[in-house]
Amino acid sequence: MAKDIPLNERIIFALDVSNTGEAKRWVETLEGHTRFFKVGLQLFLRGGFDIIEWILHRDLKVFMDLKFFDVPETVRLAMTALSDRGITFATVHGNDAILRAAVEAAKDVQILAVTVLTSLDEADMRDLGFKCSIPDLVFSRARRALEIGCSGVISSGLEVPMLRKGLGNNFLVVVPGIRPVKNVNDQKRTVDAGKAFENGADYIVVGRPIRDASNPVAVIEGMQTQIQLALSP
C-alpha cells in the first residue's frame, strides 16, 4: 500500500550545482512543482547551513545527502549538529555501530542507510573485495539498518521489489539513479520514475535528467504523471 506522501514531495530534486546562486535559481524555478530538495557534498561545501536554512525558510524540505561514514562517535557528533535544524532526511553509510550512533543522535532527522551506490555494478563490487551479489548485499544492509532503527534506505530501483517482499512496507525507500532513457553516464543500476514506484519506491532523487532538459518543469510533470499511474490502485 502506498504511503500518504504528497505528489509534489515524491520527486527530490538534486541540487548538485557549483554555487549557491545557481542552487537558489533552481529552487525558485521548481518549487511550484516539487517541495523537496537534496543538498549534497558539492553544494554543502559551498553554501553550508546557510543554503539549507534559505530552502527551509521557503517552507520546503531538505534531504541532506552527505553519506556520513566515520568512526561512530564522530558520526554521533555530526548527527547531533544536524538535529533541530528542520532537515528531513540524512544519509549514513557504514556498519552497525555507525548506523546505531547516527540513529541515537538524530532526534528529528530521519536516517536513511545507504545500501550500494547506484554507480556500482557487480564488477565494481568484486574489485572492492565483496564476494556476494549486489542484491544479497543490499538486502543484508537494509535488514540490519531497519533493525537498528533507521527510517529507511537508499537503494537502486532494481532491488526495491526484493526489499518490499522480504522486509515489508513499514520503512522508506528512496531511489536515486533515475533515468528517463537508456543510461549513458556514471549511473549503472537505473530505472525510470514510473518503474521505481511500481517496484515500491516512496521517493526518487533526480538531478541531471531535469537539469539538462530544455524544459525542466515539463520533465517533472511527466515524471509525476508516471508516478500517479504507478501508484494508482
Q: Which residues are catalytic?
A: 67
How far is 108 from 99, CA to CA, in rounded Å?
A: 15
Q: For the range 19-24, what are the long-range contacts, defined as Cβ-Cβ under 8 Å and sequence gap of 24 or more?
A: 19/46, 19/47, 20/46, 20/47, 20/50, 20/51, 20/54, 23/47, 23/51, 24/51, 24/54
Q: Count of residues for the chain?
A: 233
Question: If DSSP codes are grouped into helix, strand and coil, which group holds residue 165?
Answer: helix
CA 215 to chain centre: 23
* Contacts with 69 (C-beta within 8 Å, 6 or more apart), sequence order: 75, 92, 93, 94, 98
Assigned C-alpha cell, 81: 549538529
Q: Say how many CA atoms lie within 13 Å of 215 toward its Cβ.
A: 5
Cite the DSSP H helix spans in the chain.
Answer: 7-10, 20-30, 41-56, 72-82, 96-105, 122-127, 134-148, 160-167, 193-198, 208-211, 216-231
